[in-house]
């Protein structure tokens, strides 16, 4: 009898410890110091942004949508700035998250198109951006924070915009966010998406829910729409795994025959994961990929949608530029 009683008590004790462990769950986050917030505010703010970005601003009219991903293009249809846009706390206010190194350039770019619109554009230095690696704690509801699932893919966790976090968050000291992005094959910022050189569909803007093919005109729309409707997208950003010394950005990637099949777009010191702009079919079908005799591998990310058979046929049968 005593043995049975001891077993029951031990079971209850373990159950209590598990409950306590869940109640004091540690939430991990990383401040994204490379990102800045440009605030666009005014009665004409929505219409103003609609004509400049690849996505449809009306998606934010749905209360369930806290943010959306988009790109700002030049007149030739090439990427200038990638962005996540959030609904601000005040009506007619949008918070445009962008690379900190291009925040001033983005303000200048947007201001060129203001004309007589009732809208103000400025960097908001008081706001910061974080990635939250788990579910937001209940305390966030009481704090002045904008919390949203990353609009690109759920695998990129949660985005948080505000002034400061509470005390129940553990801040990571290493760049786990870039490591995660590179494992997934997702580019971000001017380092991965060089302004004026990158095409939105080659950078997976369509796969990341960052472009609308049904809205009205926007700057750079013509090339993006034509490329989408032809279905011929030979190259895309893909994850890389290095076997050897880290290469430099723009290093050429060749297959076993010596043919160029891609180039490096992103590397992270201390990590074997990187980012490459790759010829999709050739890079995956190759027996060996290498950079200066050092092996490198790539693959189709799991978050990519399944390509339609006709798209795959076009890709396989299309000739090089």
User: Structure pTM?
Assistant: 0.86
Distance CA 8, CA 2 (A): 10
Q: Give the torsion through C-alpha atoms of 214, 216, 221, 222, to 10 deg.
A: 90
pLDDT of residue 317: 41
pLDDT of residue 1: 47
pLDDT of residue 140: 75
pLDDT of residue 8: 47
pLDDT of residue 142: 66
Distance CA 5, CA 11 (A): 10
pLDDT of residue 12: 46
Distance CA 160, CA 28 (A): 12
What residues contact 250, with CB distance under 8 A and at least 6 apart? 263, 264
pLDDT of residue 320: 41
For 101, other C-beta atoms within 10 Å of its C-beta total 14
**Domains delineated in the chain:** 29-184 (3.30.1360.120), 231-317 (2.40.30.110)
Distance CA 135, CA 231 (A): 37
Beta bridge partners, 255, equal: 289
pLDDT of residue 314: 38
Low-confidence ranges of the chain (pLDDT < 70): 1-26, 141-142, 166-167, 307-321
Task: Give the three-state DSSP class for 293.
Answer: coil
Tokens of 139: 């305390």
């Amino acid at each position: 009898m005593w043995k049975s009683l001891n077993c029951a008590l031990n079971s209850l004790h373990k159950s209590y410890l598990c409950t306590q462990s869940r109640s004091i769950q540690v939430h991990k986050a990383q401040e994204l110091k490379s990102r800045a917030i440009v605030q666009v505010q005014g009665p004409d703010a929505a219409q103003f942004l609609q004509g400049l970005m690849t996505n449809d601003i009306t998606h934010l009219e749905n209360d369930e949508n806290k943010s959306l991903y988009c790109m700002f293009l030049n007149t030739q249809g090439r990427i200038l700035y990638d962005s996540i846009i959030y609904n601000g706390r005040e009506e007619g206010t949008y918070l445009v998250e962008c690379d900190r190194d291009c925040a001033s350039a983005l303000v200048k770019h947007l201001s060129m198109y203001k004309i007589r619109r009732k809208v103000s554009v400025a960097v908001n230095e008081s706001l910061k951006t974080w990635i939250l690696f788990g579910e937001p704690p209940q305390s966030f509801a009481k704090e002045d924070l904008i919390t949203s699932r990353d609009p690109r893919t759920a695998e990129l966790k949660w985005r948080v915009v505000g002034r400061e976090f509470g005390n129940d968050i553990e801040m990571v000291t290493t760049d786990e966010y870039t490591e995660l992005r590179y494992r997934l094959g997702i580019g971000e910022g001017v380092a991965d998406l060089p302004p004026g050189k990158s095409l939105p569909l080659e950078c997976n803007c369509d796969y990341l829910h960052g472009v609308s093919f049904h809205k009205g005109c926007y700057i750079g729309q013509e090339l993006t729409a034509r490329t989408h409707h032809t279905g011929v997208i030979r190259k895309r950003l893909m994850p890389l795994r290095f076997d050897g010394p880290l290469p430099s950005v723009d290093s050429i990637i060749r297959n076993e025959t010596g043919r160029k099949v891609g180039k490096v777009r992103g590397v992270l010191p201390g990590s074997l994961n990187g980012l490459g702009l790759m010829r999709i079919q050739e890079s995956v079908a190759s027996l060996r990929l290498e950079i200066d005799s050092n092996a490198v591998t790539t693959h189709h990310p799991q978050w990519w949608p399944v390509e339609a058979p006709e798209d795959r046929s076009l890709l396989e049968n299309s000739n090089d530029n």
